[in-house]
Structure 1
Amino acid sequence: MTSFESLPNEIFVEVFEYLNGFEIFLAFDWLNIRFYHLIRTIPICLNFQHVQKNIFDRFCTIIQSNPSIKHHIHSLTLSNKITCGQIDLFFSRFALNEFPHLRSLTIVQVEQQNIDKIQPFLPSISSLQTFRMIELVNEPNEIISNLPLTNLRRLAVPSIKSIKTKSTITHLTLSGCTLDYQLFEYIPLLRYLHVESIYRAPTLLETKNHSIVYPAVCLKHLSIDNYECLFDEFEVFAKLMPNLQRLAISALDNLCMIDAQRWQRVIQSLLPCLQHFQFIFGLYCKGEVRKHVIEKFQQFQNHIWYKNHQWNIEYVLDTNAAVIYTIPYISNTYRLTRSTVKYSSNDFNEFDNVTDLTLSCEATVNNCSYFFSNIRSLTLESLIVNSDQHILDFTHMKSLQTTVSLYHLTHLDISFYSSVEPTVLLEIFTKAPHLSSLTIDLYVLWTFFDDESLCYYFRRMIRRLNISKITHHSFRICHDVERFCRIFPNLQRLTCTINHSDQLSLLLNRLKYLFSLKIVVIPLESLNWFKDEAIKFNVMYRITHIEVITDGPMEMFSTDLYIWTGRTDDDTNERIAHHSSMNHI
């Protein structure tokens, strides 16, 4: 017996809590009898968002051959986003009521055909405590109205208009809604509310002599990503939340919200329990309007705000915009250009929340007052008009390192540049050990293929690649595709353009770990070939037609192909066969 196998079951159970359910089964189900039985007694969390289709199929086969596993599935996440057709495929094999102990269900980019398979069984899942619908185009009220509310605590949906009975929801996330003073009628226990966008209703709400019928006395935390309504309306809304402790709000291009004195009155009279107030207010402005906005900004920086609340506030001016915010900056996205000027504060930690940064390389030379320590996604761009001068050289790299820590970086977008010095990319790889995703122009990428040092990093680190973001350059010949596949053997996600069906066939056959492939502007010949051959590749796919704006009267469409794929190799077949034999033990 190895030292690993000598560990008690309690240790393994604790470790398994950090792993995806299908990963546990694929790693341990065929190891020995002990693990075969152990993993069938633990709570299972399944997240199929980023998985090869062959692995998805394999685990579904395991469940079907051993139905008792369904009773241990406590959390399930399904997605159509990059794994197109996954939700429908899963519910063509299983009904929702086959998972009686399901406590959390998340569905991403749900489609109309999915609703018919989900909706009838929702009321029977009485154990459900968390339900999330993410990135929706249309509002599926038929699903929301059938949710079992008995034990539901956390809900993320487009809106709650269709909920007409009292619920026990404590945490709520809404994609968007109008300001409704009766919002809390059926959610009296709500403690946390996050609204991505509060937009204006067709008619203004009554703000005078409004009686408070349904207050949210339990609400402690309110977060609004984009507020478009009037301050008068927000002030009445604030009366519904007498015990609010944390407020985070962003309002861009909404001048009425930039009013320091009024905010002071609202906080003192309506929000007496407020301890943390964070905001971002901004406006696109020039000339006299800009001067007026700056005067309003300066009212936030008087000593009263800091003395009474210890809230640090600063503002920045750009060529056409002005933004004021509390420190630390609350949004996870930030754009720094050459013309961005910051007023007040040099707090070293003010941008710790920013994980997604768009940066003009010219800005790094003169903006030493900025430092971003926690960036996961970095987009580099240039304000130079002439595209021939879009060159990323080592001078930019030196100034970049004084502005951004690259240690946490996972995604780099340099597609704006028509030329990149190899030393720049090599330096980024050495400073960014977690970098696994790259967006770059295909022609620029070709220039690196004879650089053995860069190819080493491509092979070892890159799992996600987009070579068709701005330009739609395609592979020239099949030999280009073969060489590409040798340099990027571990790709899992790829966005590219092709000019022949043979190139698509090579990508699907040579990239062993690929699970998501997007072909931008696919030729009709290649599309027709793929439709005929798709069944041989064990894929699900979606075709989108995007209208292209032209100068003439003729309508033009760009056709994109999204493929969810995954090779079924000898190892897959061997494990499935092994599992079948274990089932008879």
Structure 2
Amino acid sequence: MNNNKRKSTFNYSYYQDIKKSNIDQQIMSIDNLSNEIFYEIFDYLDACEIYHAFSNLNHRFQQLLYSSSLLFKIELHYRTPKEIFLNNYKSLIRFHQHQIISIHLTYSINVNTIISSMIRNSLFNHLESIRLHGVSPNILSRFLKKCISLPRLFLLRIDTSNSLKDLNNIYKLVFNLPKLKSLEITAHGFNKFNIKTSLSMATAKQFSPIKSLMIDHSCTFKECSTIISYTPQLRNLSVSHLLMDDNPKKGIHLPMILSNLTYLFICEYDLDFDQFEMFIRKIDAKLQFLSFNTESEDINYLDAKRWEKLIMKYLPQLDKFYFQYHIYRDYENEYPVYRDQCDQFISSFWIDRQWLFNADIDYGFILYSIQPYEKQWYEYDSPQGMVNSSTDLSKCSQLSIRSIPGEYFDLFLTDVTRVLNMAEIYHLEITEENVFSGILVEIVDLLAELRSLKIHSLSLRVPEGLCVEKFDVFDLLEIPIQITKVYLEKMNEIEEIYFLMTLCPDLTYLKVDSINNMDIELFFRNILMNISSKYNEHFRSMCIRIPTADDKMINKLEKMINVKKLLIKYKIQRISECIYLQWN
């Protein structure tokens, strides 16, 4: 009887195991997934990888691969598994051309062979996007001729690499594509300034439906005007290497206005403001976005009042304005200096549009820029977010210093003074690592209206070869400093914090990204005790980033503050890796 009972129990357990195993197999089998799920998965995968993984599984997946609902994306870039690609792309082009929606070949290996096979099989009825890199001129021309028959080719990007200097034939073929909406042609080569595009002006029968055009190669104003004569429907235009015409006195000839153009990006090298102004007048566009980068020596580009007149009269709908004016110098030669009235770029015209002035100084250049307002670190000094939502935009001008040349430090300070000729600086960021404290004080000493300071890292040690007497830090500290917010990205030693607290007696907020593995309790204790002894009466909040921060750490800090009686009314909390401490 007992034996029978044990046998019955054993059989039931065995049955349950078998049943569970069958259920698990059903759940784990990919055959149970619907076609719709596979379509979604395949949308994130390269066609050759899909074909390699599923073409030989079973009849169901063979049918799936031939489904008209499945559209393939063929991609070849530097991360593509080359063996998988080369073993499968021919089958895709031969048997699935009607399912291919995009072909992006941005890696030049085997690209000519691949394009040649596409020329022989040209029934790509669903092909919408093509990106090519490094195709030889002859094969590229043959391929573009075949593309004329494609009914859905909307986007074309061509990077000729070093293979072409004359783009006439390429542009002629591209402008014949009947459905093309977006075109990007890149041709830098060994000398990006030797590219030629001597097209003739377009006739009405030669107009292209292109609405977005990126000219990523050198061209003169005349050549650019000729190219865009083929694109009367243009909405977006980017020209990355615009050059002055050989005979600029002839003026700018545009065969048409670009009334649909709303987005314009131009990067130019030697164009004067008169020519640029003439171009803007003649295109008569309703621009909403303008980005203009120049390396011209024409200092008139820094005339804010002239920009105001141009924008108000010819670009009244402009919403986003990005402007960069580069001055390259070698500290051995003079370069243009703007000598008009300071703070022209903080008039009501610029502030009402929230377009703000900034400057960058690096070893090789000064960069003056205008760009739309974005929230900055100094506007967030609590875990709740912004404290001051009504920021005074007239006091947002920022100077960013990328490198400080020790050998030419006096000339570097002259550069800072030249920036001040343009606008008063209220915010300073120094990205160079381990800036010597004496050098920092000399820079801050020039910026009388400074309100915030952000530095990567600080050094209290005098650099080798630097004259100590030249940087008498403690004498310099007698100057009135108005900095209220400091952001130190990397602390090497806590004495650097003490130095910054002494430098900035009006400090209200301190942010530190790394305390160099210092014990967090010791860090907070020392800082809070130093506040009491140094009388930083305005200091009210800190944000310290600790990757290992957790609630247990917060409890320990709270207990330490209470036991040591460092603060009476305070609030400490953690958000992600950041510890916020606020007190009254």
Q: Which residue of 1 aligns with 2:359?
A: 315
5+ long unaligned stretches in structure 1: 352-358, 373-382, 386-394, 405-429, 432-585
Give the structure 2 partner of residue 59 of structure 1.
Answer: 88
- Partner residue of 1:144 out of 153, 165, 171: 171
How many angstroms apart in 1 are the aligned matches of 2:59 and 2:295? 60
Q: How does 1:242-253 map to 2 (within 5 A)?
A: 242-253=285-296
**2:54 maps to which residue?**
28
Deviations 1:70-112 (A, max 9, x none): 111111112354xx3x221213433262433322111112323
Contact map agreement 1:184 1:214 (CA 8 A) in 2: no
- Tell me the residue number matched to 1:530: none
Question: Any idea what SS the aligned residue of 2:158 has?
Answer: strand
Structure 2 residue runs without a partner (length 5+):
1-25, 187-196, 375-399, 406-411, 444-451, 457-462, 466-487, 493-510, 515-546, 549-584
The equivalent position to 2:114 in structure 1, one of 90, 93, 96, is: 90
Which residue does the alignment assign to 1:521?
none
Compute the displacement of 1:278 (Å). 0.6
- What is the aligned counterpart of 1:218 among 235, 260, 268? 260
**What is the distance in 2 between the residues matched to 1:257 and 1:109?**
37
8 Å CA contact 1:144, 1:160 repeated in 2: no
Residue in structure 1 matching 2:99, options 68, 72, 85: 72
- Give 3-state SS (helix, strand or coil) of 2:114's partner: helix
1:124 and 1:312, CA in 2 relative to 1: closer, same or farther beyond 3 A?
same
Provide the secondary structure at the position in 1 that maps to 2:321.
strand
Q: Give the 3 Å change call, closer, same or farther, for CA 153–289 of structure 1 in structure 2.
A: same
Partner secondary structure for residue 248 of structure 2: coil
Write the letter of the residue equivalent to 1:324. Y
Count of aligned pairs: 367
Contact map agreement 1:300 1:313 (CA 8 A) in 2: no
In structure 2, the CA distance between the partners of 1:14 and 1:363, relative to structure 1 (3 Å rule), is farther
User: What is the rounded CA distance, in whole Å, between the counterparts of 1:296 and 1:244 in structure 2?
Assistant: 29
Instruction: Please show how residues 35-50 of structure 1 align to structure 2 within 5 Å.
Output: 35-41=61-67, 42-50=70-78
Separation (CA, whole Å) in 2 of partners of 1:364 and 1:168 = 58
Partner of 1:254, secondary structure, is: coil
> Which residue of structure 2 aligns with residue 553 of structure 1?
none
Aligned-partner Cα distance in 2 for 1:199–1:304: 33
Match of 2:220 in 1: 178
Specify the code of the residue in structure 2 equivalent to 1:36: Q
Q: How far apart in 1 are the matches of 2:272 and 2:357?
A: 22
Letter in 2 for 1:43: L
Q: Which structure ranks higher in relative contact order (CA pairs < 8 Å, sequence separation ≥ 6)? A: 1
1:13–1:163: structure 2 CA closer, same or farther, 3 Å change rule? farther
Could you tell me whether the CA contact under 8 Å between 1:297 and 1:324 is conserved in 2? no
The structure 1 residue matched to 2:210, chosen from 152, 156, 169, is: 169
* TM-score under structure 2 length normalisation: 0.54
More helix by share: 2
Say if 1:297 and 1:315, in contact at 8 Å, map to a contact too: no
Q: Is the 8 A contact 1:88 1:113 kept in 2?
A: no
Structure 1 residues 389-468: aligned runs within 5 Å: none
1:376-391 aligned within 5 A? none
What pairs up with 1:252-291 in 2 under 5 angstroms?
Answer: 252-255=295-298, 256-285=300-329
Offset at residue 18 of structure 1 (A): 2.4
Change beyond 3 A, Cα 1:200–1:326: same
Partner of 2:433: 361
CA offsets 1:312-342 (integer angstroms, 9 cap, x no match): 1111334553211124699xxx992235868
Write out aligned runs for 1:183-198 (5 A).
Answer: 183-198=227-242
Please list the CA deviations of residues 377-434 of structure 1 after superposition, one character each: whole Å capped at 9, or x if unmatched: xxxxxx999xxxxxxxxx99757x9689xxxxxxxxxxxxxxxxxxxxxxxxx99xxx
In structure 2, relative to structure 1, the CA distance for the partners of 1:56 and 1:272 (3 Å cut) is same
Q: Which has the larger radius of gyration?
A: 2
Shift of 1:10: 2.1
Q: Is the 8 A contact 1:337 1:363 kept in 2?
A: no
Q: Which amino acid aligns with 1:145?
A: K
Contact kept? 1:190, 1:216, Cα under 8 Å: yes
- State how 1:406-555 maps to structure 2 within 5 Å: none
CA displacement at 1:213 relative to structure 2 = 4.4
Aligned residues: CA RMSD: 4.0
